[in-house]
Amino acid sequence: MNAPLRSGPRLGAPVSRTARSACSPASQKENTPMTPWTLRIAALALATSAGTAFAHGNVECKPHPKSEWRPHTELEKKLTEEGWKVRRMERTDTCYEVYAKTPDGKRVEAFFDPKTFERVEE
């Protein structure tokens, strides 16, 4: 009866250092994708850091008909003239939400009444 064919080194043969390091668990860890556990930790970290971006709670401006809202470009111009550096503006159901730096350099998320442009505090 014929013996099965073997490929590679015979059992018990010395293995070179480079072959050993290529098969070591340490080198395999470097190339493995994120495990589900690592993904969960990353998602949790992202969720908790994103929570601060949505920390405004329930800021509500006095409701006005949309026809009475002044254009957001007017608010941006007003804030810029006051020394604000506007990064982004969004429209909520009742307010303009502004992400900016105040004249003193503080990063803020501020809400403004769309009719009067008065700042609405929480």
Is 100 within the bounds of a domain?
Answer: yes
The residues with which 88 forms a beta bridge, in sequence order, are: 99
Task: Give the amino acid at 4.
Answer: P
Per-residue pLDDT tens digits for 94-120: 999 999 999 999 999 999 999 999 999
Specify the higher pLDDT residue, 57 or 59. Answer: 59
Is 99 within the bounds of a domain?
Answer: yes
Is 96 within the bounds of a domain?
Answer: yes
Residues, the chain: 122
Task: Give the amino acid at 33.
Answer: P
Rounded to whole angstroms, how far apart are CA atoms 102 and 79? 9
Rounded to whole angstroms, how far apart are CA atoms 122 and 71? 23
| Token pair 């009719």: residue | 115
Could you give the number of structural domains in the chain? 2
Over residues 31-41, mean pLDDT: 68
For 112, the domain range is 66-120
pLDDT at 52: 40
| 45, 74: one domain | no
Is 11 within the bounds of a domain?
Answer: no
Answer yes or no: is pLDDT of 59 > 70.
Answer: yes
pLDDT at 54: 46
What is the reported pTM? 0.54
Is 22 within the bounds of a domain?
Answer: yes
| 70, 40: one domain | no
DSSP alpha helix (H) spans, the chain: 17-22, 25-30, 36-51, 72-81
